[in-house]
Amino acid sequence: MRLGTSYKQNPIEGDYDTIVIGSGIGGLTAAALLAQEADEKVLVLERHYTAGGYTHTFTRKGYEWDVGVHYIGEVLNPKREVLQVFDAITDGKLEWADMGEVYDTIIIGDDRYEFVKGVGNFKKKMVEYFPEEKAAIHAYVSRVKQMVAKGKLYFAEKALPRPLSALFGGLMRRGALKLARQTTAEVLAELTDNVRLRAVLAGQFGDYGLSPSEGSFFVHSMVVNHYFEGGAYPVGGSAQIAANILPVIERAGGKVFTNAEVDEILVEGRRAVGVRMADGKEIRAPKIISGAGIHTTYGKLIPEAVGQRFGLPKLAQRIKPSIAHLSLYLGFEETAEELGLERSNLWVFPTDDHEANMRCALDDPENAELPAVYLSFPGAKDPDFTNRYPGKTTVEVVTLAHYEWFEKWEDTRWGRRGDDYKAFKEHLSNRLLEALFTQCPQLRGKVAYQELSTPLSTRHFANFKKGEIYGLEQTPMRFEQKWLRPQTPIKGLYLTGADVCSAGVAGGLFGGVLTVSNMLMRDMRGACARRAAKLRAEPTSPELTPATVS
């Protein structure tokens, strides 16, 4: 499904109130909220051939895969803000399929540990695995909840105008920062001496890309809490997210263009006034929102002299980009049911020493054990999959990877990187396949199609310099950076997406909420809650507004 209007085939005409660079979930959320709450005409510019960022899907040889949405939490309860925002920006058209009782399974060696939905159920299950650690398990969940509660004020401060932030920001951030300065490993070490329990509780670290000794307990808590009530998957695939947001933008006169690469943000004096496209065309608007990420925005899109004047490159250099990843996309000529595939994601680790696993992989990518392998089964999660692809299913095998492994090929072209690159990819693909077959032996010999995506693929399609998957590193220092907020020193220029909030789809989603809250000086969380409640109270219409497909 290709979403949006191709810039190569259609000229951009007319005036727009706001230009959004990038159609990731942060950019689309911001555009939809501006359309709904301010009746703004928003122009979204996406360099890729389809809209959606990491929420888009792609097809090959009659198969379909998502590239970043493997599950979403807090969308099964209408009282949760994540569902309220999704409902608001899609007019309630986006449907979610419950993944069932078990959303994640942690596998260490031959041992399996199921994460079950419901906080009480989760604690009970963990105590079954570790009966002597009941106090530690309950204390861990309490610490997670405490961190998340204190984080609400931390994020609300980001939406404040600078004068109000100067007055109240320190107080609003203080409670969260006290806990955010600890790593996940440090917190777990305070709670228990049981190494295996620590490894299990930290087993979702792949959702933010840092080992427990490096990642802030802040981001860990947000991820863990996000899934406490279970996981869900978009009915019809993750492309349905963008497909149902685009009509909301277009209804207010906005437009989403693809194949539309922005080369530069135009700045006159201290104000952003528009963008210059890669083909030289200039498009002007009084407000610009960049969802392209901090490093791309401050390092590439802002003219160098302007960036130096505002000290932007130095700010961006304070935080490194997150880790990259490998993703092996597999197609099968049988359904998920026929192959006996489960809905639960599988997190597979060679040992319970996550730090050692990560270090070994960095030092010896060709021979060391893969530090973590994530198995996702979209054909089993999506009840509509067999309607779209009868008799088929797909599987995704993902692992964390370092960009440095592929750096020597960074100046080559996508699809033409040479035989040595192909050989390295084949070697890595075979290792990922073996990891899959160890857990799902019934799949051996049944792979009908396979394709490996590397950090260079991410760099090519998403324009992230180091092929990063989670934007900025989620270290304790990252949360100390007060300048990571929607409002920039350049008037009329705003940031959105995960870099102004936190990692993942939900982080990007609320990045969009924070950006528009700051721009309109209104709480968009409340606006989304009211709109979602109104939609639920209205009679359901059988008609769906078709998305723009080209």
Shared-domain flag, residues 187 and 270: no
pLDDT at 202: 98
Q: What is the mean pLDDT of residues 81-108?
A: 97
Confidence bin at 360 (pLDDT 50/70/90)? confident
Under a CB-based contact definition with an 8 Å cutoff, are residues 302 and 265 in contact? yes
Shared-domain flag, residues 449 and 496: no
pLDDT at 548: 40
Q: What is the CATH number of the domain that holds 513?
A: 3.50.50.60
Lowest mean pLDDT among 98-107, 167-176, 460-469: 460-469
Q: What is the mean pLDDT of residues 469-481?
A: 93
Shared-domain flag, residues 437 and 399: yes
Domain total in the chain: 3
| Domain span at 454 | 328-462
Shared-domain flag, residues 430 and 482: no
Lowest mean pLDDT among 160-174, 211-225, 268-282: 160-174
114: β partners? 105
pLDDT at 198: 98
Mean pLDDT (the chain) is 94
Shared-domain flag, residues 43 and 133: no
CA distance 342 to 103: 10
- Tell me 370's DSSP state: P
- Judged against a pLDDT cut of 70, whether residue 547 lies above it is answered with no
User: Domain for residue 103, yes or no?
Assistant: no
Confidence bin at 351 (pLDDT 50/70/90)? very high
Please tell me which residue, 2 or 155, carries the higher pLDDT value: 155
**Can you tell me which residue has the tokens 């040479």?**
418
User: Domain for residue 104, yes or no?
Assistant: no
Answer with the one of 228, 262, 289 that is the final residue of a domain. 228
User: Domain for residue 102, yes or no?
Assistant: no
pLDDT digits over 439-458, tens only?
999 999 999 999 999 999 88
Shared-domain flag, residues 222 and 128: yes
Sequence length of the chain is 550
- Judged against a pLDDT cut of 70, whether residue 87 lies above it is answered with yes
- Judged against a pLDDT cut of 80, whether residue 92 lies above it is answered with yes
User: Domain for residue 467, yes or no?
Assistant: no
pLDDT digits over 50-60, tens only?
999 999 999 99
Please tell me which residue, 365 or 235, carries the higher pLDDT value: 235
Q: Compute CA distances 89 → 36, 106, 314, 486, 513, whole Å.
A: 8, 34, 35, 19, 10
**How would you class 167 by CB atoms within 10 Å of its CB: exposed for 0-12, middle for 13-18, buried for 19 or more?**
exposed
Q: What is the mean pLDDT of residues 73-97?
A: 97
Answer with the one of 191, 207, 228 that is the final residue of a domain. 228
- Judged against a pLDDT cut of 90, whether residue 162 lies above it is answered with no
User: Domain for residue 68, yes or no?
Assistant: yes
Q: What is the mean pLDDT of residues 39-62?
A: 94
- Judged against a pLDDT cut of 70, whether residue 543 lies above it is answered with no
Lowest mean pLDDT among 123-127, 232-236, 410-414: 410-414
Both tokens assigned to 277: 């496209």
- Judged against a pLDDT cut of 50, whether residue 537 lies above it is answered with yes
Q: What is the DSSP code string of 494-513?
A: EE-SGGGS-SHHHHHHHHHH
Lowest mean pLDDT among 23-32, 155-164, 280-289: 155-164
- Tell me 281's DSSP state: -
Q: What is the mean pLDDT of residues 304-333?
A: 93
User: Domain for residue 131, yes or no?
Assistant: yes
pLDDT at 461: 79
Q: What is the mean pLDDT of residues 453-478?
A: 88
Both tokens assigned to 431: 């290792």
pLDDT digits over 497-527, tens only?
999 999 999 999 999 999 999 999 999 999 9
pLDDT at 550: 34
CA distance 455 to 269: 37
Shared-domain flag, residues 334 and 457: yes
pLDDT at 243: 97
- Minimal CA–CA distance to 279: which of 6, 53, 7, 2? 7
Confidence bin at 540 (pLDDT 50/70/90)? low
Shared-domain flag, residues 315 and 349: no
CA distance 515 to 486: 5
Helix (H, G, I), strand (E, B) or coil at 166: helix
